[in-house]
Amino acid sequence: MKDILVLMEHRQGAMRDVSLEMLSGAAKLGGTVVAVLLGKDVDAFADKAAGLADKVIYVNDAMFENYNSRAYQKALEALIAENGPGLVLIGNTAQGVDMAPALAVSTGFPLVTDVTAIEMDGDKPKPTRTFYGGKLNAHMNMKDADTYILTIREATFPADDPSKSGEIVKTDNPVSDDLSYRQFVEYVEPEVGDVDITQSSLLVGVGRGIREDKNLPIVEELAKLLGADLAASRAVVDAGWLPSDRQVGISGKTVKPKLYLAVGISGAFQHVTGMKGADVIVAINKDPDAPIFGIADYGIVDDLFKVVPKLTEKVKELKGA
Amino acid sequence: MCAEELDFIEKYDLLGCIQCGRCTGGCPVATRTPLRVRGFMYDGLNEERLEELSEKPEIWDCTTCFTCAARCPKGLEPLEVLIGLRSLLIEEGKVQPTVRDALESIFKDGNPWGSPRSKRMDWAADLDVKILEPEDEEKTDVMLYICCTDAYDPRVMKVAQALVKVLKAANVDFGLIGEEESCCGSEVRRLGEEGLFEMCDEENVEMMNSYNVGSIVAISPHCYNTLKKEYHGLKHPVLHYTELVAQLLEDGKLTLNTEMKKLITYHDPCFLGKQNDIYDEPRYILTRIPGAEYKDFDRCRERSLCCEGGGGKMWVETESKEERLAEIRVDDAKEMGAEVIAVACPFCLLTLEDATKVKGVDEEMRVADILELLAEAL
Amino acid sequence: MNMVVCVKRVPDTSESEVHIDGSGKGIDTSRLSFGINECDNYAVEEAIQKKEALGGNVTVISLGDKQSDEVIRMALAKGGDDAIRLEDEAFAGSDAVAVAKALAAAVKDVEWDIVFTGALTDDDGYAAVPVALGEILGVPFATYVKKLEVMDDGKKVKVGRELEGGLMEMVEMTTPCVLGIQTGINEPRYASFKGIKQAARKEITIKSASDLGLDASDCGEAGSWAALEQFTPPVVGEMAEILEGEPDETAGKLAGILKEKGLV
């Protein structure tokens, strides 16, 4: 089996979890796992990658100090041509998705994005991904090629403990193109509001099921009684019903409260990623097929407008007792 | 644009206004919002100011309750001026996201609640009810027209279910339209979306005319008003359910056997009372409930206070921090010792029930549709 | 500043059950409602706002059958000027790259400085069209764009890309360019019924694969990176313990559990 090239993703001085997850997953597919690390003075990440890879290709260059999808694309084009891997794994992240499709176009190698499982058929991967917001799994048949490119959804593979000591090969920057047509300017941190939900020990998450902002008070009342803070799904934040610092999920916060009570949240992957680490997850949703019930510990399949006021009542009684 | 603005003056007969102020004087929301409708009757004469007027947030405070029109000595309808101003914004697409979503949902799925058409009949899933077929040779006496709010709102759904129970008890020959049923457009028109209302009018009239029925019975006064007075070419007579049920009681086809020892009062919906003069039927029905004691609000019938649920207000939040009219209504009911506020409109049900919770009296005071009380009294 | 905005008509499955059809490769859409893809709606608004601020022309392009005219007309009603619909049986089974190839061919005959697309679609969620399209056209691109500022008389743009955790990556690019728009960048306006009716008078140019100069090998499954082999229902993990009963009972049980776990 041919080599598997895995792109390491890092940002603001931290290695992203998806990088180690992909190395761990690649090892289980068989073949030599080659980590590609592009950065500026990130030797520590090279050591980290070496713990899960057979080989680390490390390009240390100022060009890679911050992520620039064009620089990454050009570097990968050169490294793929040189190493001839059978498979290239890239995180299905805001960075990976900003680059992988262009890499696939420029190299002519096929790409499947947002992969959640991989089976190998010889050298050819048979990826699975989801359609319709996670409501269906789709089994994909890729066009035959020498190299296949996949972007891997975060948390698809568990990250293993380091068990290898791959060779770190420092490589000259293969990119000499003028990339001035697209330049990194800066990172802008999200605004911090009055409540930091990453620190909350009890959270009540509100989703699209709440229908209108004027329905929020029934959930607020429960949250207040429980001493919990309100969190929200993307839909609720996009609608402007709660501020963006309350958003839980990939593009929001990752929270680990003792209790996450999901009210009217269907449990799209993007949201679940941000809250699945909660100790106890409870879901109230009228759709029995809502994916949230797949990760919740306790569920009530009913109308939130019926259940939440009753729950408030019952908690009040318990507190009074 | 110029021709359109001249139209504005003619369309609402602004030159006929004598600025007497009876409209603002009687306006129920003038007590809690900056809306002064008389001013709009005057300022609307200046065509150059229409755009500026349309951007005043208070035009969305009007509940289209019709009090201003009912009080106007010149027979004008000041509320229509506010609807006209709303329509200027609608044309520009400049409306609140909640209004936008409600209107888009009506255009796409025939209801303002963002739910698919395929879920329209969920409320009747466990009921054995006839679904009417267009062009059926056999005539059905009554076609029920279920309001979108009754069909989709989990609380209000119970009212539609109660209606089915009551009509079955009275052996009425009735049927439902089913998933083809679409929003009547009453709120669409009042939100200022004239074009979409015309679509509702045309499509619903064509659809309803294709059925072989004796009459159409609407569950919501808003639908009733629109079907009866605003549609063009509807061939079936339109009744509100209170008219049908009162007749069934009078004819002895419906008997009430279960006692309800409660003091009941009744909140007149604007679209049933003020706008359609149906005051007696609801009271007739309520006074037939065995064991019940009936008492009117001090402000009742023509003088009844609006609940602020109509005129598109389900999708527009008023900024005013003053007490809501529905809360005042609940206070009044509490003062007279009422245990039940009976209503005959889905919006009144939602706004008043909400107000009992805000006031913390939801334990001792019940808000229920007349139909729910009837179903219990059978 | 001339712009192109690409839109797709998709089923709304956010609150509906999704059933696989007999072929195993499609879904039963008979009970679903359709509308514009959510991100695309924001892309349309962004294009119109930039047109209102800077002048220029907005061309709406959609790949789809006649029913897609509905979402095209809504975009025209909001302020779009021209429309092209790409329709051909050869497009069936297209994945992101095959769609990008068709769109790239379609914009060749249009004058533009920015092509807007949604960052991803609600149906397949490939999230690959804007970036693939940019590469095919040979222009700078960025996706997950949640902020856009046009600079230097339209010669440059500064975009904010939404990264994980709400972090924004600010990037400057030269135009022409392709931008994949993320939801929340603006507040999409309402398209009035009258506006949609008036937009119905505007002509929608229909183009087939051959009109676009595309070979069969560029279109549909042949032109795609991958073909959908089969849908399966998702494997559910260990399901939640579902509390049964009327709201009163379930709420009571849940309150009890919370108490037991020391959460109340």
Domain ranges of chain B: 2-92, 99-247, 248-377
Amino acid (one-letter) located at B269: P
State the smallest CA–CA distance between residue A212 and chain C in angstroms.
Answer: 15
Q: Is A165 annotated as a binding residue?
A: no
In a domain, C22, yes or no: yes
Give the B-side interface with A, CB within 8 Å.
97-98, 113-114, 154-155, 315, 317, 357
CATH topology of domain B99-247: Rossmann fold (3.40.50)
Q: Tell me the pLDDT tens digit for each residue of A4-35.
A: 999 999 999 999 999 999 999 999 998 899 99
| Ramachandran region, residue B291 (left: φ > 0; alpha: ψ -120 to 50; beta: rest) | left
Q: Tell me the pLDDT tens digit for each residue of C143-153.
A: 999 999 999 99
Partner-chain residue, chosen from C144, C170, C251, that has the shortest CB–CB distance to A185: C170
Tokens of A45: 């990440």
Q: Selecting from 3.10.129, 3.40.50, 2.70.98, 1.25.40, what CATH number does the domain B248-377 have?
A: 3.40.50
pLDDT at B3 over 60: no
Instruction: Please name the residue of chain A whose CA is at the shortest distance from the CA of residue B316.
Output: A214
Q: What pLDDT sits at residue B6?
A: 56
Partner-chain residue, chosen from B90, B114, B118, that has the shortest CB–CB distance to C192: B90
CB contact under 8 Å between C171 and A182, yes or no, is yes
Q: Tell me the pLDDT tens digit for each residue of B222-235.
A: 999 999 999 999 99
The strand ranges marked E within chain A are 4-7, 10-11, 14-15, 33-39, 55-60, 87-91, 111-121, 124-131, 136-142, 148-152, 167-170, 182-188, 202-206, 229-232, 259-263, 280-285, 298-301
Query: What are the φ and ψ backbone dihedral angles of B279, each rounded to 5 degrees?
Result: -115, -35
What pLDDT band is residue B1 in, cutting at 50, 70 and 90? very low
State the smallest CA–CA distance between residue B304 and chain C in angstroms.
Answer: 34
Partner-chain residue, chosen from B98, B155, B317, that has the shortest CB–CB distance to A305: B155
ipTM of the complex: 0.93
10 Å Cβ neighbour count for C137?
A: 19
State the smallest CA–CA distance between residue C20 and chain A in angstroms.
Answer: 8
* Rounded CA separation B230/B185 (Å): 10
> Could you tell me the CA-to-CA distances from B9 to A253, A281, B41, B81 in Å, in that order?
54, 60, 9, 9
Q: How far apart are the first and last CA of chain B?
A: 59
Question: What is the extent of the structural domain holding C197?
Answer: 3-218
pLDDT at C158 over 50: yes
**Contacts with C122 from chain A: Cβ below 8 Å:** 132-133
In CATH, what number is assigned to the domain containing residue C49? 3.40.50.620
Partner-chain residue, chosen from A101, A138, A266, that has the shortest CB–CB distance to C128: A101
Q: Is A267 annotated as a binding residue?
A: yes
Domain A4-170 has CATH 3.40.630.30: no
Domain A197-320 has CATH 3.40.50.1220: yes
**Contacts with B91 from chain C: Cβ below 8 Å:** 192, 194-195
Q: Is A42 annotated as a binding residue?
A: no
Q: What pLDDT sits at residue A129?
A: 97
Spatial contact of A96 and A157, defined as CB atoms under 8 Å apart? no
Q: Is A234 annotated as a binding residue?
A: yes
In a domain, C229, yes or no: no
**Could you check whether B99-247 and B248-377 share the same CATH topology?**
yes
What is the residue-averaged pLDDT of chain A? 93
Does residue A309 sit in helix, strand or coil? helix
Q: What pLDDT sits at residue B321?
A: 83
Q: Where are the alpha helices (DSSP H) in chain A?
A: 17-29, 43-50, 69-83, 100-107, 216-226, 234-238, 269-275, 292-295, 304-320
* Rounded CA separation C207/C205 (Å): 6
Amino acid (one-letter) located at A34: V
Q: Is A19 annotated as a binding residue?
A: no
Q: Tell me the pLDDT tens digit for each residue of A163-221.
A: 999 999 999 999 999 898 999 999 998 877 778 898 899 999 999 888 888 889 999 99
To the nearest whole percent, how much of chain A has pLDDT over 90? Answer: 77
Q: How many pairs of residues across A and B have Cβ atoms under 8 Å apart?
A: 14
CB contact under 8 Å between A137 and C165, yes or no, is no
CB contact under 8 Å between B193 and C16, yes or no, is no
State the smallest CA–CA distance between residue B114 and chain C in angstroms.
Answer: 9
Q: What pLDDT sits at residue A321?
A: 63
Q: Which of A211, A222, A305 to mutate to test the interface with B (most CBs of B within 10 A)?
A: A211
**Contacts with A97 from chain C: Cβ below 8 Å:** 127-128, 131, 143-144
Instruction: Please name the residue of chain A whose CA is at the shortest distance from the CA of residue B319.
Output: A214
Instruction: Give burial (CB, 10 Å; 0-12/13-18/19+) of C92.
Output: exposed
CB contact under 8 Å between B195 and C192, yes or no, is yes
Q: Is A180 annotated as a binding residue?
A: no
Q: Which of A208, A210, A212 to mutate to test the interface with B (most CBs of B within 10 A)?
A: A212
Q: What pLDDT sits at residue A113?
A: 98
Q: Which of C139, C258, C259 to mutate to test the interface with A (most CBs of A within 10 A)?
A: C258
Least confident stretch, A102-111, B33-42, C49-58, C254-263? C254-263
Higher pLDDT, A32 or A251: A32
CB contact under 8 Å between A240 and B97, yes or no, is yes
Q: Which C residues 10-39 touch B at CB under 8 Å?
A: 12, 15-16, 31-35
pLDDT at B102 over 80: yes
Average pLDDT over residues B300-320: 92
* Rounded CA separation B16/B12 (Å): 9
CATH number of B2-92: 1.10.1060.10
**Contacts with A9 from chain C: Cβ below 8 Å:** none
In a domain, C27, yes or no: yes
State the smallest CA–CA distance between residue A317 and chain B in angstroms.
Answer: 14
* Rounded CA separation A249/B84 (Å): 43
* Rounded CA separation C163/B56 (Å): 38
Q: How far apart are the first and last CA of chain A?
A: 66
CB contact, 8 Å: A188 with chain C? yes
Tokens of B338: 């009422």
What is the pairing mode between strands A111-121 and A33-39?
unpaired
In a domain, C205, yes or no: yes
State the smallest CA–CA distance between residue A40 and chain C in angstroms.
Answer: 18
CB contact under 8 Å between A139 and C127, yes or no, is no
Half-sphere exposure of B182 (CA within 13 A, CB side): 22
Tokens of C58: 């907005």
pLDDT at B54 over 60: yes
Query: Containing H/E element for C177?
Result: strand C177-181
Average pLDDT over residues B260-288: 97
Average pLDDT over residues B70-98: 95
Average pLDDT over residues A231-239: 90
Q: Is A270 annotated as a binding residue?
A: yes
CB contact under 8 Å between A213 and B317, yes or no, is yes
| Ramachandran region, residue B259 (left: φ > 0; alpha: ψ -120 to 50; beta: rest) | beta
pLDDT at A1 over 90: no
Higher pLDDT, C208 or B321: C208
Q: What pLDDT sits at residue B2?
A: 46
**Contacts with A320 from chain C: Cβ below 8 Å:** none
CB contact under 8 Å between B114 and A303, yes or no, is no
Residue in B307, B261, B264 with CA at minimum distance from that of residue B285:
B264
Q: Inter-axis angle of helices C96-107 and A100-107, to 10 degrees?
A: 80
CB contact under 8 Å between C33 and B108, yes or no, is yes
What pLDDT band is residue A149 in, cutting at 50, 70 and 90? very high
In a domain, C231, yes or no: no
CB contact, 8 Å: A189 with chain C? yes
**Contacts with A264 from chain B: Cβ below 8 Å:** none
CB contact under 8 Å between A306 and B154, yes or no, is yes
- Dihedral of alpha carbons A58, A61, A65, A67, sign: negative
CB contact under 8 Å between A211 and B114, yes or no, is yes
Q: Inter-axis angle of helices B241-250 and B370-377, to 10 degrees?
A: 30
CB contact, 8 Å: A239 with chain C? no
Spatial contact of C134 and C177, defined as CB atoms under 8 Å apart? yes
> Could you tell me the CA-to-CA distances from A119 to A3, A4, A125 in Å, in that order?
16, 14, 6
Q: What pLDDT sits at residue B363?
A: 84
Torsion, CA C175, CA C181, CA C182, CA C185, rounded to 10: 70
Q: Inter-axis angle of helices A69-83 and A100-107, to 10 degrees?
A: 40
State the smallest CA–CA distance between residue C208 and chain A in angstroms.
Answer: 23
CB contact under 8 Å between B98 and A303, yes or no, is no
Q: What pLDDT sits at residue B4?
A: 52
**Contacts with B149 from chain A: Cβ below 8 Å:** none
Amino acid (one-letter) located at C144: Y
Instruction: Please name the residue of chain B whose CA is at the shortest distance from the CA of residue A214.
Output: B317
Q: Tell me the pLDDT tens digit for each residue of A306-321.
A: 999 999 999 999 888 6
Q: Is A208 annotated as a binding residue?
A: yes
Average pLDDT over residues A251-280: 90
Q: What pLDDT sits at residue C128?
A: 98
Q: What pLDDT sits at residue C237?
A: 67
**Contacts with B155 from chain A: Cβ below 8 Å:** 305
Higher pLDDT, B301 or C30: B301
Does residue A204 sit in helix, strand or coil? strand
Partner-chain residue, chosen from B97, B114, B154, that has the shortest CB–CB distance to A305: B154
What is the residue extent of each domain of chain A? 4-170, 197-320
* Rounded CA separation C63/C85 (Å): 6
Average pLDDT over residues B130-158: 96
CB contact under 8 Å between B116 and C32, yes or no, is yes
> Could you tell me the CA-to-CA distances from B40 to A51, B29, B73, B77, B79 in Å, in that order?
75, 15, 17, 12, 10
Partner-chain residue, chosen from C161, C227, C241, that has the shortest CB–CB distance to A297: C241
In a domain, C132, yes or no: yes
Spatial contact of A121 and A36, defined as CB atoms under 8 Å apart? no
* Rounded CA separation B62/B324 (Å): 13
Residue owning tokens 């996450």: A260
* Rounded CA separation A79/A84 (Å): 8
Q: Is A251 annotated as a binding residue?
A: yes
Q: Tell me the pLDDT tens digit for each residue of A58-98.
A: 999 999 999 999 999 999 999 999 999 999 999 999 999 99
What is the residue-averaged pLDDT of chain B? 95
